[in-house]
Amino acid sequence: MSEQTGKQLSKEEKDARFEAELLPVLDPLYNFAYRLTLDEDDANDLVQETYLKAYRFFDYFEQGTNAKAWLFRILKNSFINEFRKKSKQPAKVDYSEVEGYYNSDDVEGEGGVATTTDMRTESVQDLIGDEVASALNTLPVDFRTVIILCDLEGFTYEEMAKILDIPIGTVRSRLHRARNSLKEKLENYAKTMGYNS
């Protein structure tokens, strides 16, 4: 395994290369894990598991290629294969726990957005961000995933197809449906804020 194009890397060299190539992706990877699991501890576990798998298969990773897409793909597969089994309904169960974190009520909740947070301490930017997060978190995980990959992480359709193991046509149609769904939720929010959409 340690034979690589005739040159043997010591464990120290391999570790150094691994850290240099893959650890810079930690921030987006953790954010992706968090958006999938909606739980900080689960995101933590998922990211650690992803890096350990990546380390095991690091000999197959071609240096200089798209490390971010490679790690996102491993993480997404781990999430589907193992993590989803653990919690039967991650989105619904865990959403209640994030509510506090985002400091806002359910978009369609009784008080609506009128009760959201304190204008003195939180900027309008943050308010919008909270609403977008709430709306996004209520989407099915497949929809949430394509929106995160495309709009937050800036992956191309081709990269998304590789990460998700689906044809580009499916990426497009899923993204389209996901955005329609998100739009509906955000339009409700816009209406309660007095905007005509």
Residue choice 80, 91, 132, 161 for contact with another protein (CB under 8 A): 132
User: Which residue is associated with the tokens 């350990």?
Assistant: 52
Strand blocks (E) in the chain: 3-4, 7-8
Query: Can residue 193 be called a binding residue for another protein (CB under 8 A)?
Result: no
Q: With binding defined as CB under 8 A, does residue 74 bind another protein?
A: no
CA dist 169 → 25, 150, 160, 163, 173 (Å): 27, 14, 11, 14, 6
For the bound state, the minimum distance from the C-beta of residue 156 to another protein, rounded and expressed in Å, comes to: 7
Site string for another protein, 38-57 (x = CB under 8 A): --x--xx--xx--xx--xx-
Chain centroid to Cα 74, Å, comes to 13
- The residue behind tokens 């994030």 is 98
Q: At 161, which helix (H) or strand (E)?
A: helix 157-164
| Closer CB to another protein, 106 or 151, in the complex | 151
Binding of residue 136 to another protein (CB under 8 A): yes
Q: How far is the CB of 91 from another protein (least distance, A)?
A: 17
- CA–CA separation, 132 and 137 (whole Å): 8
Find tokens 């010591």 and name the residue. Answer: 10
Where do contacts with another protein occur on this chain (CB under 8 A)?
Answer: 11, 15, 18-19, 23, 26-27, 30-31, 34, 40, 43-44, 47-48, 51-52, 55-56, 125-126, 128-130, 132-133, 136, 147-148, 150-152, 154, 156-157, 169, 172-173, 175-177, 179, 182-183, 186, 197
